[in-house]
Chains A and B, each alone.
Chain A
Amino acid sequence: MSRTLTPIYAANLASDVYDVKSVITRDDFLDDYKSDMEIKSANLPSGITGGYIFNKPHVIGMFSAGKGKYKGQAFVAIKGTASLYDALTDLNAGVHSSHTGFQVHQGFYYALNSILQELRQFVSGLKGVSVIHCVGHSLGGAIATLAADWIKANSAISTVKLYAFGSPRVGLESFAAKCTSRLVANNVYRVYHRTDPVPMVPTWPFYHVPTNTGYLVDSPASIKPWEYHLMKHYMRSAKSAGSWEGMASHCPIKHMDSAIEHWLQPDGVVSFAASTLEILNAALIYVIKKVINLSGIAIVVGGGTTLTLLDRMAMYMAKAANASKDLSIWVYHLVKKMAALIGIKIKGGMDFTASFIRQVFMSLHRKISEVVWRIGQEVG
């Protein structure tokens, strides 16, 4: 009895769970999976995935105990962004302390929160189950990640496996690291196409789970920016790979500190290619860690103020730049490099205010968004 879903089974389930939303196709879904799932006892959770912009309860996934060859296992399948209400969640960004105590994307937090009571009831009612498979695509992958993390932290289920296709980044580094260690990296099957823009957002300081691996599948350029975000391509990739071994597991490029420092140095090359996103992300994290480690300044998020994470980041960067020479040089290099990427030349001796740093960050994000869109034509 296999305790891991095959790529094609996981991809089909991530795609098919979209069909639970409509009364026209819901019965078909249940009929197709009746030999693998205790379909009569399956829960169809109604959730709110419109965050606080528009709230509209509707069915967003399916929980079921397994049967037949999946006896002793269970499924949590969450559908992705399939309507305007769902899509709004993706724009509803901000951070919130997760149900396991770490900072995550606010929209994803509220989406999980809306089904948590049903998830809790489902998990507590499971008998003789040692493996739960959490599956999802896009936003569904993000909610499945939070669900997997919550189940592992709050139940005696020994193994929780996560299968996420084209998922955006879910939480900050502390969440990603904790979730990765909680689930164990080899229980996480995060599949993403090279030209799928959704896994590229939110950008820093959000991280993927697992933090150091992923099933990166090459995909060609497309005139439609998010063509390779669609499930039909993930299903094709899964079918063609046949097995997880067949689906090449690539580590995201890990930049050495020396390479980051070289890139940050004034004589480092500045170009705005797709790969710049990766080194820039690494450089930001490198400098932010220096700020935190050397200054003891914590980047606190949440709380009762209206400051965004970006505001705080800019504030602390400016504070750090003025606090110590060791730090100011790296903040200076970073801001100068970011400014260079958006075509602003910084002269020596210039003071960095929080407002200036924020403006540079914002302008760079604007440029990044253009690159993310262009990536579909540049890579492949």
Chain B
Amino acid sequence: MRYTIILTLSLILFSGAKAMSILGIGKTCVFSAVKVRLINNGLPMKNAQVIRRWEWNSLQEDKTITDENGYFEFPAVFEKSLARILPIELVIAQGLYVVEGDEEKKIWSNSKREPEENAEFNGKTFELTCEITNEMKTYRDFGSRMRTLCTWED
């Protein structure tokens, strides 16, 4: 029976993998390009350290510093995994954190469920304004569950 199920699913997987290679879907965007303006009570947060973390195959992070106007950017990140050809839910945990003294403050997080770039905002570019004094809220506007204190243009 084990062989039967393996055979059945293997063939399904093979068929799926074939379809994916044709469409070039194997590449997965684990974090889209980010452009954020960070403010505190309306004033730009200069030279603040920002950490971006994501977890799909493993927990990863990169860091940057805000500029004079409170802006920071990260490029898009792509990963590949055999898991993408299996019939499973794609779940990529994403987070943006601002370092304040010895503490990290989470300003945005999301459970990315689509492999495409900019899926976080349903195809729109990832551009936010983050007022650090705002409360974190949960949004389900883009399919996945997003929690943030940031705002974006509709």
Contacts and interface: CB of A to CB of B under 8 A. Distances in A.
B89 A231 contact: yes
Contacts of A138: 87-89
Interface stretch (B41-49, B52-60, B70-78): B52-60
Contacts of A92: 2
B145 A308 contact: no
B19 A370 contact: no
A16 B55 CA distance: 15
Nearest to A201: B8
Contact of A366 (B11, B20, B23): B11
B88 A369 contact: no
Contact of B9 (A90, A232, A370): A90
A21 interface: yes
Contact of B93 (A25, A197, A361, A370): A25
Given A366-B11, A373-B15, A230 B89 contact: yes
A198 interface: yes
Contacts of A22: 55, 59, 91, 93
User: Which of B87, B90, B143 gathers most chain A CB within 10 Å?
Assistant: B87
Interface residues of A, number: 56
Contact of B109 (A15, A25, A82): A25
Interface in B54-98: 54-55, 57, 59, 81-83, 86-91, 93-95
B5 to A, nearest CB: 3
Interface of A: 12, 15-16, 18-19, 21-25, 27-28, 31-32, 80-84, 86-87, 90-95, 106, 137-138, 197-198, 201-203, 223-226, 229-232, 235, 308-310, 361-362, 365-366, 368-370, 372-373
Contact of A361 (B4, B11, B25, B59): B4
A28 B145 contact: yes
B7 A365 contact: yes
Report the 3 A-B pairs with minimum CB-CB distance, sorted nearest first. Answer: A93-B5, A22-B93, A309-B1
Contact of B16 (A224, A232, A310): A224
Contacts of A18: 89, 91, 111
7 contacts: A24-B54, A91-B9, A93-B5, A201-B5, A225-B16, A232-B143, A369-B10
A198 B88 CA distance: 10
Contact of B111 (A25, A31, A90): A25
B94 A24 contact: yes
B12 interface: yes
A23 B25 CA distance: 27
Given A32-B145, A138-B88, A225 B1 contact: no
B138 interface: yes
Nearest to A205: B1
Given A93-B5, A231-B113, A309-B1, A81 B89 contact: yes
B10 to A, nearest CB: 8
A236 B5 CA distance: 30
Contacts of A25: 93, 95, 109-111
A16 B9 CA distance: 26
Contacts of A94: 1-2
Nearest to B3: A308
Interface in B97-144: 106, 109-111, 113-114, 136, 138, 140, 143-144
B1 A84 contact: no
Given A28-B147, A87-B83, A80 B4 contact: no
B1 to A, nearest CB: 4
Nearest to A88: B86
A362 B7 CA distance: 9
Given A22-B93, A106-B2, 13 more contacts: A15-B89, A22-B59, A24-B95, A25-B95, A80-B89, A81-B89, A82-B88, A224-B25, A225-B15, A225-B19, A226-B87, A230-B90, A365-B7
User: Which of B20, B57, B89 gathers most chain A CB within 10 Å?
Assistant: B89
A4 to B, nearest CB: 22
Nearest to B147: A28
A369 B89 contact: no
Nearest to A139: B88
Given A24-B53, A201-B8, A369-B7, A137 B89 contact: yes
B89 A373 contact: no
B88 A81 contact: yes
A24 B144 CA distance: 15
A12 B138 CA distance: 13
